[in-house]
C-alpha cells in the first residue's frame, strides 16, 4: 500500500533529469576551504595550526560543546591559513584552508569496495564512533547524528525511519546512493538500529523511484527482514520529518516537540551511508554525493564531492556558468539556499547544486490576495499562511503565536501555490523565528 501524510502538500513536477547519471568522483580541487560551522550547534575548534601537514580523513577540528561535531580534512596537504570566510549566504565563520598535495589518506581508512556485514561494536561504541567521525544529518539540517541516536531522558525510540523520499524536484543524490550502494545503506540502518536499541525500521521511498524500491526490497527481504521498505506517494513535502512520520506510523509530532516524542528517530539515506562508512570502514564524513543539475546545463551529473570545494570550482568543472542561468541553489528548488558567493565552499550537508534560468525562477508580479485558500489547503501543518502573512506585516506577535506560526516547516508550499504570487513564506519565516525566540526565552 502506498502511504502518505494526511494534510496539505503539493504536486510539483519532479524534474529528476539527473537520475540516470552514475556517481563519479569529482576531480580534487587545489585548495579546500573547510568551515568550522557545517552543523547545527557550536562551531568546531581547530586542532591543527598553520603549516601543519594533514592527511585525508585526519581530524582537524574538535566538537566544541554538547551540540557540535568533529571535522576532518577532505584533502591531504598543508594548512595554509585559518581564517574567517563567508559561507554561501554571506555568514562569516572560521575556515581551515588547506593547499592540496596529492591524495594521501589516513592509513586506518578502508578504501576497498568490500561490503562489511558484521557489526563488531556495541550500541555505545557505535554512538561514540559516529561522534568521532563527525557524522551529521545529511537531509538538510546537519544535526549531529550521535546526539540524535543518543538516548533522551524519559523518551524511548521504538523504531527508526530512513528517509529516502527525496521529495524535492531535481534532486537525485539520495536516489543514486540507493541504486549504487543499497546494501551499504541497509547495513548503516542496521547499525543505527543497534545504537538506538530498536527492533524495527522503516525505509520510506517515493513511488517515482521504482528501481530503488525494487533493489532495496530484494536485498532487505533476503538479508535484513526487520527493515521494511515503504512506498510513499509522490507528493511534496513527503520527506519532511513530521510528514514522513505521519505517513509511515500515523503518529503526529507535537508542536515544538521532537520526533522521539512519537517514539521515532528519522535519518536520511545519505546519513545511513555515512554511518556505514564510519563504522565499517573507519571513514569520517568528508565527502558526499552531490547532484549538479538544471535544464540550462547540457550534462546532468551526480558527483562524489569532497567537503570544502568552492562553487567556482564545481561550476567550472561542468563547463562554467551557463549563459541563461541566473540563480545557483544549494539544495532543491523548494527549500534550498540561493548561493550568493561563488567563492564559498561546499559543506557536509551539500546535496545538490541547481542552476535555474530567469524564466524558471522569476517571481511573478504580486497581486492582491483573492482569498482562494490555496495556501491554506496546501499547508502540510494545517496553518493559515494568508493570515500569518498579514499578521506578520502588522507585527502582531501574540496572534502569530496563537495561530501557531512556530509550527511552520518552511516547505514553501504556500508561496509555490499562491496565484497572486504573494511571497507568503518570506514574511512567515521572519515572524516564525521571532516567535520561536519568545517561546524559548520563557522559563
The nearer residue to another protein, 152 or 430, going by C-beta atoms, is: 430
Under the criterion CB under 8 A, does residue 10 sit at the interface with another protein? yes
Under the criterion CB under 8 A, does residue 426 sit at the interface with another protein? yes
| Phi, psi angles (nearest 5°) of residue 348 | -55, -40
CA distance 219 to 197: 22
CA distance 387 to 406: 14
x/- letters, 248..277, toward another protein (CB under 8 A): ----xxxx-x--------------------
Q: Which stretch binds another protein (CB under 8 A): 172-180, 302-310, 424-432, 433-441?
A: 424-432
The nearer residue to another protein, 52 or 410, going by C-beta atoms, is: 410
| Cα dihedral 149, 443, 382, 415 in deg (nearest 10) | -90
Query: Which position among 40, 360, 434, 438 is part of the footprint of another protein (CB under 8 A)?
Result: 360
Q: What Å distances lie between residue 235 and 11, 130, 354, CA to CA? A: 5, 32, 20
CA distance 74 to 95: 13
> How near is the Cβ of 361 to another protein at its closest, in Å?
5
The one-character DSSP state at 164 is E
Distance of CA 402 to the CA centre of its chain: 30
Helices (H), 142-226: 145-149, 173-180, 182-196, 210-223
Q: Which stretch binds another protein (CB under 8 A): 106-114, 158-166, 208-216, 413-421?
A: 413-421
Decide if 62 contacts 96 (C-beta within 8 A).
no
Residues 326-345 contacting another protein, CB under 8 A: 326-329, 331, 333-342
* Element containing residue 232 per DSSP (H, E): strand 227-232
* Element containing residue 203 per DSSP (H, E): strand 200-206
Residues 302-331 contacting another protein, CB under 8 A: 321, 326-329, 331
| Cα dihedral 366, 368, 370, 372 in deg (nearest 10) | 30
CA distance 135 to 295: 32
Residues 361-390 contacting another protein, CB under 8 A: 361, 363-364, 367-374, 376-377, 379-384, 386-387
Q: For residue 71, what are the β-bridge partners?
A: 61
The nearer residue to another protein, 102 or 364, going by C-beta atoms, is: 364
Under the criterion CB under 8 A, does residue 416 sit at the interface with another protein? yes
Helix, coil or strand: residue 94: strand
Q: Which stretch binds another protein (CB under 8 A): 6-14, 51-59, 273-281, 295-303?
A: 6-14
Q: Which three cell numbers stand for residue 42?
A: 557550536
The nearer residue to another protein, 63 or 334, going by C-beta atoms, is: 334
The nearer residue to another protein, 45 or 384, going by C-beta atoms, is: 384
Q: For residue 133, what are the β-bridge partners?
A: none
x/- letters, 98..137, toward another protein (CB under 8 A): ----------------------------------------
Decide if 431 contacts 388 (C-beta within 8 A).
yes
The nearer residue to another protein, 73 or 309, going by C-beta atoms, is: 309
Under the criterion CB under 8 A, does residue 419 sit at the interface with another protein? yes
CA distance 86 to 396: 34
Query: Which position among 14, 87, 246, 287 is part of the footprint of another protein (CB under 8 A)?
Result: 246
Bond before 237 cis per omega within 30 degrees: yes
Sheet holding 31-35, edge to edge: 31-35, 92-100, 77-86, 53-54
Under the criterion CB under 8 A, does residue 353 sit at the interface with another protein? no
> How near is the Cβ of 358 to another protein at its closest, in Å?
8
Under the criterion CB under 8 A, does residue 86 sit at the interface with another protein? no
| Phi, psi angles (nearest 5°) of residue 70 | -65, 155
The nearer residue to another protein, 265 or 344, going by C-beta atoms, is: 344
> How near is the Cβ of 331 to another protein at its closest, in Å?
8
> How near is the Cβ of 412 to another protein at its closest, in Å?
3
Under the criterion CB under 8 A, does residue 399 sit at the interface with another protein? no
Interface residues with another protein (CB under 8 A) are 7, 10, 12, 169, 242, 246, 252-255, 257, 321, 326-329, 331, 333-342, 354, 356, 358, 360-361, 363-364, 367-374, 376-377, 379-384, 386-387, 403-404, 407, 410, 412, 415-421, 423, 425-426, 429
Amino acid at each position: 500500500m502506498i502511504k502518505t501524510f494526511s494534510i496539505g502538500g503539493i504536486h510539483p513536477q519532479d524534474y529528476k533529469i539527473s537520475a540516470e547519471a552514475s556517481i563519479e568522483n569529482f576531480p580534487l580541487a587545489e585548495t579546500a576551504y573547510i568551515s568550522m560551522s557545517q552543523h547545527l550547534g557550536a562551531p568546531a575548534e581547530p586542532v591543527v595550526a598553520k603549516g601543519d601537514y594533514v592527511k585525508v580523513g585526519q581530524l582537524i577540528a574538535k566538537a566544541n560543546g554538547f551540540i557540535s561535531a568533529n571535522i576532518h580534512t577532505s584533502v591531504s596537504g598543508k594548512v595554509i591559513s585559518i581564517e574567517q570566510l563567508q559561507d554561501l549566504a554571506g555568514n562569516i565563520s572560521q575556515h581551515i584552508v588547506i593547499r592540496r598535495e596529492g591524495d594521501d589518506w589516513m592509513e586506518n581508512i578502508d578504501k576497498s569496495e568490500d561490503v562489511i556485514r558484521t557489526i563488531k561494536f556495541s550500541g555505545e561504541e557505535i554512538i561514540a564512533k559516529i561522534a568521532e567521525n563527525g557524522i551529521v544529518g545529511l537531509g538538510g539540517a546537519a544535526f549531529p547524528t550521535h546526539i540524535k541516536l543518543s538516548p533522551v531522558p524519559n523518551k524511548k525510540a521504538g523504531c527508526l525511519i530512513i528517509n529516502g523520499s527525496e521529495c524535492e524536484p531535481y534532486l537525485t543524490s539520495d536516489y543514486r546512493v540507493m541504486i549504487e550502494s543499497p546494501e551499504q545503506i541497509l547495513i548503516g540502518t542496521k547499525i543505527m538500529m543497534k545504537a538506538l536499541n530498536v527492533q524495527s525500521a522503516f525505509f520510506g521511498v517515493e513511488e517515482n523511484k521504482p528501481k530503488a524500491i525494487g533493489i532495496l526490497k530484494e536485498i532487505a527481504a533476503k538479508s535484513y527482514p526487520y527493515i521494511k521498505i515503504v512506498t510513499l506517494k509522490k507528493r511534496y513535502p513527503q520527506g519532511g520529518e513530521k510528514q514522513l512520520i505521519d505517513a509511515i506510523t500515523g503518529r503526529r509530532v507535537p508542536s515544538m516537540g521532537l520526533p522521539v516524542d512519537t517514539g521515532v528517530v528519522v535519518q536520511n539515506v545519505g546519513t545511513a551511508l555515512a554511518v556505514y562508512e564510519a563504522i565499517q570502514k573507519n571513514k569520517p564524513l568528508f565527502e558526499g554525493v552531490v547532484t549538479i543539475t538544471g535544464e540550462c546545463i547540457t550534462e546532468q551529473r551526480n558527483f562524489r564531492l569532497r567537503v570544502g570545494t568552492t562553487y567556482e570550482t564545481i561550476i567550472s568543472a561542468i563547463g562554467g556558468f551557463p549563459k541563461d542561468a541566473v540563480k545557483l541553489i544549494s539544495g532543491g528548488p523548494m527549500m534550498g539556499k540561493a548561493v550568493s558567493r561563488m567563492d564559498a565552499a561546499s559543506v557536509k550537508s551539500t546535496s545538490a547544486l541547481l542552476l535555474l534560468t530567469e524564466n524558471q525562477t522569476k517571481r511573478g508580479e504580486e497581486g492582491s490576495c483573492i482569498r482562494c485558500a490555496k495556501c491554506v489547503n496546501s499547508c502540510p501543518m494545517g496553518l493559515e499562511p494568508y493570515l500569518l502573512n498579514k499578521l506578520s506585516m502588522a507585527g502582531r506577535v501574540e496572534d502569530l503565536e496563537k495561530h501557531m506560526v512556530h509550527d511552520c516547516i518552511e516547505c514553501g508550499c504556500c508561496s509555490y501555490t499562491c496565484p497572486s504570487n504573494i511571497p507568503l513564506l518570506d514574511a512567515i519565516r521572519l515572524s516564525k523565528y521571532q516567535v520561536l525566540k519568545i517561546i524559548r526565552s520563557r522559563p
